[in-house]
Amino acid sequence: MIELRNKVGGRKLLSLFGRFSCLFLVCSSILFSSGTFEKFQTIQIKDSTGSDFFENQQWNSYEPLPMKKLYEVNKPKSISSLKKRKIKAVGPKIRIVLSKRKKYKTITFDNVKKDISIDFFSTILSFNIPDRLTNAKFYPQTQKGIGNFFRTASYTEYSYLISEIEKIKKEMNLNDWGLYILIDKISNKIFSNKDNSKLFTWFILHKMDYSIRAGIVKKHILLVFKTKQSINYTQCYKIDGKLFYSLDSEAEKGVLYTYLKDSVNATKLFDMSLMTLPNLNLDINTKKLIFREDNNEFIVEYKYNKNLIDFMATYPHVQSDVFLNAPLDDISYQSIGKSFKEYLDRKKASIAINFILHFVQNTFKYQNDLEQFSKEKFMFAQETLYYDKSDAEDRVSLFSYFIRKFFSFGVIGVKYKDHMTTGLLIPIIGDSVSDGKRKYIISDPTYTNANIGENISKYKLLKPLEFIKLK
């Protein structure tokens, strides 16, 4: 029963399936034969607002496209090194200016008892579940079952839950990936069945106007997203001429059955960029990094928020610029910046840049992702600091951040078929590359002991496959 109040406070009880006519799902069931559809039919669903979601939709099968990879060939298992040599001191004297420290506050939300609570990276969040929502089920396991779930969920007071989600998204400064994780956690708490949980995630994001599709792979639900960025090492489908990616690494793999057209309101593309970090509760840890240069030992002690590391660990392997443009957490930036400032202030530019380059080269051991993680993983600068081992693109993310943040020099990512390095917009003589407009001096944070302007010999005569622009 739904309870409504009129203007004078009187109550009207209206039965959804009694006095007023219901909106019926018009569809034909789809037959499975050995896990495949024998034929496709049209389906029409109208939600409780009266707007059309499926209007004579044609369901089709979509083969997964070949997964996009970061490199054309496997990354090397080891990188050559050089004997350290002094670099000529050139350029202006450096003075590192740290930006103002940000104020942190503990994230707290009301402690009013609600239906469910979730742990979102050490922040406890509570929500009320709309009445009758748990009646929504993926049954039968066909397109009709998706329609049944959508219709049942539409007749609940879901809008209040969405308003709570949007409030949390704003207060915690969540990007679209953080929003997805939040909704996924809520869905898994409400529904123990994975297919029902995925359909609720789809339902909420659909109501928030994101371009997301629910489909079926081997009788189970698969969600695919239209994203602003390409994503490597994940299932991808071309639907209605557009690429849709699966963000669930554990989802069923195979042919996808889904509808051809999106709803007219589904205009938001999933934006995976991380230009500002989420506002997560603090779990502060300290790490000491030891580095030797010119027969001197330098100790860089910095602090980091473990909750942020855990959040970043969930990230898909999106295109390179997402990782290279992401910042360090302010608490890490401030502590590292103070150490660098002490060592580098009043040094010539070439000496200071070379110090940072050698710091990244020598502080971390080289190990490719397949050996360290048994999968390809692109680290944010924050993660590169956290892990003791890293490979080329991880060090590019850290080194390029330091150069932009502490020196404000132009920097670009330089990608070859199996390697990534950086190019700096600085006026010195050395190995260089050109993007057609400007010349960049190669500075490789993986080539151990190499100075700025020294490229690995095998890449000196090769034309880079891609230049990654940094903001």
CB neighbours of 167 closer than 8 A, spacing ≥ 6? Answer: none
- For the record, the structure tokens of 397 come out as 């993310």
Residue with tokens 């004579």: 56
How confident is the model over 410-440, as pLDDT tens digits? 999 999 999 999 999 999 999 999 998 999 9
Residue type, 126: S
Q: What is the pLDDT of residue 262?
A: 82
E strands present in 226-268: 236-239, 242-246, 256-259
Tokens, residue 470 = 């940094």
DSSP E strand stretches across 148-295:
212-217, 220-225, 236-239, 242-246, 256-259, 284-293
Q: How confident is the model at residue 46 (pLDDT cuts 50, 70, 90)?
A: low
What was the pLDDT predicted at 100?
Answer: 84
Q: What is the pLDDT of residues 7-20, one digit of tens each?
A: 333 333 333 333 33
Among 101-105, 294-298, 320-324, the minimum mean pLDDT is found in 101-105
Q: Is 29 helix (H, G, I), strand (E, B) or coil?
A: coil
Nearest alpha carbon to residue 148 among 248, 7, 54: 54
Count of CB atoms situated within 10 Å of the CB of 197 = 21
- Following DSSP, what letter does each residue of 356-410 receive, concatenated? HHHHHHHHSEE--HHHHHSS--PPPHHHHHHSSEE-HHHHHHHHHHHIIIII--E
Residues of the chain with CATH 3.10.620: 284-469
DSSP 274: -
Q: What average pLDDT does the structure give for the chain?
A: 87
* pLDDT number for residue 358: 97
- Mean pLDDT across the stretch 61-80? 93
The secondary element (H helix, E strand) that includes residue 42 is strand 42-46
212-231 mean pLDDT:
96
Taking only the tens place, the pLDDT of each residue in 272-300 is 999 999 999 999 999 999 998 888 899 99
pTM of the model: 0.87
Digit-coded pLDDT (tens) for 154-189: 999 999 999 999 999 999 999 999 999 999 999 999
Percent of the chain with pLDDT over 90: 75
| CATH code that applies to domain 284-469 | 3.10.620
Closest residue by Cα to residue 255 from 232, 235, 233: 235
Tell me the one-letter amino acid at 468.
I
Q: Is-cis flag, bond preceding 140, omega within 30?
A: yes
Residue 375 pLDDT greater than 90, yes or no: yes
Is the per-residue pLDDT at 50 higher than 90? no
How confident is the model over 229-237, as a mean pLDDT? 96
